Structure 1
């Protein structure tokens, strides 16, 4: 799973790295970004746009937004079939911008946190989905979820799941709504190579 992540890179570097043509967000950094908070994401709507979503997907058919608190992750293996995600999988895909993320190792009565990032030190995009939900009084909430897959060899001793990190050569395909080939899209949702990542044990206070 992915329940906490990090984003510290300057906005100018994010815009350059993800080839952003329009910044339409309140850009915020953080060392412990959690579900329910605003996150920064890349969508492609004729051009790459940087936007904000609430982390925790609220399907358009939901009766109220509370369901989002349970839908901050979606399993890559079932995302194309689950009613909560399958429509967004075909039409509303995004990259959720990050520098790193945390996973916890269960050790008897305690959990030990570890921080994972790329050896390159560069930011990256989690594979994500997004939806827009309207309340009965027409208040709109744009929300998202992060896709997860089996862990690679680095993360497996700590946790059996990891977020899907998309390499740059896959990211543009993922966010292009014109690409709707189910099998091609699913083939992108695989563990990031362990040799390209690094791990660091951190304290329980994450910031």
Structure 2
């Protein structure tokens, strides 16, 4: 379902690619081991007072529903299932009005053989350009404290990905970014499909990435499977 990912695209390049106004407090780049509860790069459409400007901002990876008394008041919601997105109380309003894009170079997933420990794989686009996950976001506020948070939307894996893990993030193609953000009318639900095998590449990486303290480009280096 993607519990870690990597991003190396510079902030100014992201702002240009997504035609988004960048915030001043974006997380450092590059990061080869982005973990839940940290601040990540998110693109959303600012519809406040009719403004349709895209914005590139930091958000906590771990969706915080409005009824949580603290950000850790309940389960850590780093992902939202596409199949139930419109029904779950935590996500149903966000899926209608607060959808976002989450850029990445690629993501890690762990496969467990019938016997033995979990083995990490790195999944990235087969072509050029970043990988862009579908997301939903929420602004939480309690006692004067405000926090913007998000979750990735996931769906059932197919093909090669299904051999590694049964869930995969919904990956959006450039022509679909505007529709997911609500800029091009209805139809976002039809985008929540698994990526085809020929759009992704897969390779084994070292178990060093198992540690959330691990850093550096060696984490995505291919090793013999």
TM-score when scaled to structure 2? 0.85
Q: Is the 8 A contact 1:164 1:191 kept in 2?
A: yes
Inter-CA distance 198–32: structure 2 relative to 1 (3 Å threshold): same
Equivalent in the alignment of 1:23: 22
Equivalent in the alignment of 2:42: 41
Q: Which has the larger radius of gyration?
A: 2
Equivalent in the alignment of 1:96: 102
Shift of 1:68: 6.5
Alignment of 1:111-190 (within 5 A): 111-136=118-143, 138-176=144-182, 179=185, 181=186, 184-190=187-193
Is 2:200 the counterpart of 1:197? Answer: yes
Runs of 5+ consecutive residues of structure 1 not aligned to the other structure: none
Distance 2:200 2:38 in 1: 26
Distance 1:81 1:60 in 2: 16
Equivalent in the alignment of 1:84: 90
**How well do the aligned residues superpose, as a CA RMSD in angstroms?**
1.6
Aligned residues: 202
Inter-CA distance 189–204: structure 2 relative to 1 (3 Å threshold): same
Shift of 1:139: 0.6
Residues 155-202 of structure 1: CA deviation (Å, up to 9, x unaligned)? 1111011011111111111112684x4xx2211111112101101100
Q: Is the 8 A contact 2:27 2:39 kept in 1?
A: no
Inter-CA distance 34–80: structure 2 relative to 1 (3 Å threshold): same
Shift of 1:15: 2.0
Inter-CA distance 68–198: structure 2 relative to 1 (3 Å threshold): farther
Runs of 5+ consecutive residues of structure 2 not aligned to the other structure: 47-51, 210-214, 216-225
Distance 1:168 1:102 in 2: 22
Q: Is the 8 A contact 2:4 2:34 kept in 1?
A: yes
Distance 2:183 2:77 in 1: 22
Misfit runs of 4+, over 4 Å: none
Shift of 1:152: 3.0
